[in-house]
Structure 1
Amino acid sequence: MPKKQQSVEELEKAEEEIVFLEKEELAHFLKLAYTDGLEMDHLVFTVLSYTGLRIGELLSLKWGDFNEKQGTIRVTKTLYNPNNHFEKYQLLTPKTKGSVRTIRIDEMLINMLKKHRLKQNEIKLKNRLVYQDNGFIFAREDGHPQLRKVVETRLKRLLKKAEIEKNITPHSFRHTHTSLLIEAGVGIKEIQQRLGHTDINTTMNIYAHMTANMEEKASQQFSKLMKDLLL
């Protein structure tokens, strides 16, 4: 591991271009992930877009972090696997205290995770001779956590099918989630807690960018409306 590793907060602050999917684009993408996605694609991208989890946080999730009765996911760790080797990974504690959090999820996600657990139990039984059961939710067919590179490759495949030309990465779903929270009228403090930002300025920077984007979109829609009325 590098001696000086940037924290997730520093990486997010340094990110110049905030790319995200509009609501309609997200709906189209997730529908395609359901009809044309490979194993776990639909679940992975739905959870990312509905929770705002970082990709490392998502891949480190274990069944013990999912509370079905309370409808929550507990975030306490992140997966570190710079070489994308299925066995050579580390589970690290998050870089900031704010990253340790409990996220509420809706009924749809709860049901998706329950169905996934049943399917995973079938895979465990089928592959019992090679399955390394460490309790990962997003496990490969051998029980090891899914690789980030696989998620990125699957994402590119689906974006191409969906004819979305934006430079979308797994992190973009975090920004997409933020934009939907803003659109839903959720307050900045609640957004900060949900995303796990210790520094409110990190949230404010993203919030300001998203709000400017929405204001520009509203202005364009208004101009189009007036143009249509005046024709």
Structure 2
Amino acid sequence: MKWSQALQDYKHYLKIERGLSENSIKNYTLDVAKLIDFLEQSKINESPISISKETIQQFVYEIAKLVNPRSQARIVSGLKGFFNYLIFEDFRAENPMDLIESPQIGRKLPDTLSTEEINQLIRAIDLSKPQGERNRAILETLYGCGLRVSELTNLRLSDLYFEEDFVKVTGKGDKQRFVPISKLNKKYINLYRNEVRVHQKIEVGHEDFVFLNRRGKQLTRAMVFTIIKGLAVAIGLEKNISPHTFRHSFATHLLENGADLRAIQQMLGHESITTTEVYMHVNRTHLAKVLNEFHPRK
């Protein structure tokens, strides 16, 4: 079996059997591609079936010189998944990654913005330009609904159930969920739809996407990053923020204001409550206040 064929088959497995999104598939296969590049550069002629633990160890040793421990741990995890797939398909009897240890890394707590910082970013938007209304609606939706950036760019007009105060969101692995949307959030999306978007010439095939670029096409993830980075510079924000920061802030602020963790899990679309529990550790001061306020022996 050649590496190219194994990688292609693995992609099909991740898509069809695991139901993963294109972004997730790309990330999983990128780890395998790094191993393939290492073998080619080192002139090591071992197939996916025959590759030894010693060769894998050599690769991990070399990659550790180039990436940080968190990236190294992700690569090790990705390769374990690939070789487990080969075992599942009866191409291998054992996983050469079994004795390879991932570097010990602490759990990274998500960065968050205060409500005032979010307000400052939104106030910095230039509403005199047509894309200003769009950009305000984007930030309000990222923060108001806690969406991933890919969920935002893939949001469609047919997903907006404004009369019921919900939007339908397609998340990782094409799993769908309904997320509540506030009156304020609906107001800014409608302003964009009715005052800007309605006047655009929209490319064929992009008519149903909510957020469009100047050429009338679906907005890209990269453009959303650029918009947010530009606003951060405009207000002199020293934090390193991204679209995901608004999602973290959404969850953190809900928790701080007494929202149930299970409800936050459902709105974020987390498969496991363990993923959502990271927000329990974001603001320890808040947790201390909760204890002092509600415990019977305060």
TM range (shorter): 0.7 to 0.9
Whether 1:23 aligns to 2:101 is: no
Number of aligned residue pairs: 190
Whether 1:74 aligns to 2:168 is: yes
Given that residues 167 and 178 in structure 2 are in contact (C-alpha distance below 8 angstroms), is that contact kept between their aligned partners in structure 1?
Answer: yes
Percent of paired sites with the same residue: 26
Task: Find the aligned partners of 2:213 and 2:285 in 1 and give their Cα distance.
Answer: 38
Whether 1:157 aligns to 2:227 is: no
Given that residues 109 and 282 in structure 2 are in contact (C-alpha distance below 8 angstroms), is that contact kept between their aligned partners in structure 1?
Answer: no
TM-superposed deviation, 1:208? 2.1
Q: Which residue identity lines up with residue 25 of structure 1 in the other structure?
A: E
Query: Does 1 or 2 have the higher relative contact order (CA < 8 Å, sep 6+)?
Result: 1
Task: Find the aligned partners of 2:242 and 2:231 in 1 and give their Cα distance.
Answer: 12
TM-superposed deviation, 1:121? 1.4
Question: C-alpha root-mean-square deviation of aligned residues, in Å?
Answer: 2.9
Given that residues 133 and 144 in structure 1 are in contact (C-alpha distance below 8 angstroms), is that contact kept between their aligned partners in structure 2?
Answer: yes
Q: Which residue identity lines up with residue 157 of structure 2 in the other structure?
A: W
Select 2:263's aligned residue among 177, 190, 194: 190
| 3-state secondary structure, aligned to 2:255 | helix
Deviations 1:162-188 (A, max 9, x none): 111111111111001011101221010
1:170-209 matches, cutoff 5 A: 170-205=243-278, 207-209=279-281
Q: Which residue identity lines up with residue 193 of structure 2 in the other structure?
A: R
Q: Which residue identity lines up with residue 264 of structure 2 in the other structure?
A: I
Partner of 1:90: none
Partner of 1:106: 182
Whether 1:122 aligns to 2:199 is: yes
Given that residues 131 and 142 in structure 1 are in contact (C-alpha distance below 8 angstroms), is that contact kept between their aligned partners in structure 2?
Answer: no
Deviations 1:101-160 (A, max 9, x none): 11111111112122222121111xxx36x5654310011233321111111112111101
Unaligned 5+ runs, structure 1: 78-93, 219-231
Q: Which residue identity lines up with residue 63 of structure 1 in the other structure?
A: L
Whichever of the two has the greater Rg, that structure is 2
Given that residues 140 and 188 in structure 2 are in contact (C-alpha distance below 8 angstroms), is that contact kept between their aligned partners in structure 1?
Answer: no
Task: Find the aligned partners of 2:282 and 2:153 in 1 and give their Cα distance.
Answer: 27
Deviations 1:19-45 (A, max 9, x none): 110122112222223658871221111
TM-score, normalised with respect to structure 1: 0.72
Deviations 1:29-79 (A, max 9, x none): 2222365887122111111011100000000011000012112110125xx
Unaligned 5+ runs, structure 2: 1-7, 15-22, 29-69, 75-106, 290-298
